[in-house]
Structure 1
Amino acid sequence: MTSPPVIGFTELTGADFPLLHDWLNRRHLRRFFQKTPISLDEIAEKYDPRLSGDTATHCHLAWLDAPFGYLQCYRLSDFPDWAAMIGQEEGIGVDLYIGEPDLIGIGLGAAMLRAYLAQVAFPLFPEARTAWIAHEADNDAAQGCSRSVGFQRQGVFLESGLKTILYGLERETLS
């Protein structure tokens, strides 16, 4: 039996913006994550406040031999509009993507999400009992990834007019 890959995490820095720019403009992220082209200046405008602490979102890169994915987490109570949209008040939200297309579909997404929750997200928010993640209804691969980590379907809501599935995971059930 093969052991899971050892995935490390680093905090996102401004030096990583060119990498995000490259990833976010790749075709595989256009369908569900970054639907329109994004410039390097727009990346800086979006992510600089996160790096300076002006927003409560924590941003990280996932690494094997090189960075291959992006993840972020945040306390729901710090984003009341989002919390109201998904109908939850407590816990943490998590978002992620794999930037390298040749690493999609081989189980790294689930390994990355599982490791991130255990090593980064829940430790950042020790009071949190539940993690929440949402996927467009048509994004079967992302939903399968989240379910394989132990997330359970909790409901459906509309985000930007799109049917979106909400999944939750209790900290103690992290598989």
Structure 2
Amino acid sequence: MPEVSGVRQVLASTDAKDMSVRLVVTQGDHQLVGVVRDGESWRAAAERTAGALSGEPVAVDLSGDVKQFAIEHDRVVSLRAMTRGDLPQVARWRQQPHVQRWWSDEGEPTLEGVTEKYGERIDGTTPTRMWVAEVNGRSVGFVQDYRLSDYPDYALLAPDPEAIGVDYAIGESEWVGRGLGVRILWAWMLKIEHRLPDARCYFAAPDHRNAASLRMLEKLGFERGVWFDEPRSDGAVDTVVGWSLDVSRVLGVATP
């Protein structure tokens, strides 16, 4: 196999008609290059291209002509169900300026306010579910998800009313700007595809000024949709941008 600047290159064989979508899987100093076959999801193509390498490819940047994946062993990102014991930490995260800027409409970021807002979700008595994101076992942020059809007014704004909506925040400021958001949402996507295998679309609607969040969704393969005004509890509105992910194209069909 040829060496290019110390990087091993392997090009998967395919028909010419399948050359339109290419991908790269990186592990350490190895870089395996492949293509997406007709009818194949980007994830499945990455797994096939990775071949005998140890580990599962995760998305790094799916926004370009070449879809970038990586196999990481030193940074394990996972999600677990939030418990009421997490709420003091969630309150602390909500108080951080970089979080509060985009989550101010979720109520006061005090322990009492956070408990009132999220307690029922944790208990499973509302359609919204709460998750804690962990890196190598350390809690660093949270994710919430819901089926849009459970919130009819919101569902009207998405291309698929049965889509799964998602919101997210990195609470620990030292992890902001380190590419962790992509990894957290990729871990969420892998979890939700098995928990709700009938969902064919995931949907997020960050504030139009939140450039980091917009770029993160783009890197995950979400496609930009319409802008719309989302009413706030104080009577004002936030202008947000709808982003949709085609689950079958990016992840494929979940195995029951």
CA contact (8 A) 1:86 1:157 kept: no
1:165 aligns with 2:237: no
Task: Check whether the contact 1:132–1:167 (CA below 8 A) recurs between aligned residues.
Answer: yes
Give the drift of 1:88. 4.0
For residues 115-154 of structure 1, the aligned pairs below 5 Å read 115-118=187-190, 120-154=191-225
Judge conservation of contact 1:76–1:90 (CA < 8 Å) in 2.
yes
Q: Secondary structure at the match of 1:89?
A: coil
TM-score calculated relative to the size of structure 2: 0.64
> Which residue pairs with 2:92 in the alignment?
22
RMSD, matched Cα: 1.6
Q: How does 1:56-95 map to 2 (within 5 A)?
A: 56-65=127-136, 66-86=138-158, 88-95=160-167
- The answer to which structure has the higher helix fraction is 1
Letter in 2 for 1:43: V
TM (norm. structure 1) is: 0.92
Stretches of structure 2 that go unaligned for 5 or more consecutive residues are: 1-26, 29-70, 232-236, 252-256
1:95 is paired with a residue whose SS is strand
Deviates more, 1:165-174 or 1:14-23: 165-174
What is the identity, as a one-letter code, of the residue corresponding to 1:107? G
Deviations 1:97-131 (A, max 9, x none): 1001110111110111111111x222221110000
The answer for unaligned runs of 5 or more in structure 1 is: none
1:101 maps to 173
Aligned partner letter, 1:48:
G
Identity percentage of aligned residues: 30
Shift of 1:6: 1.8
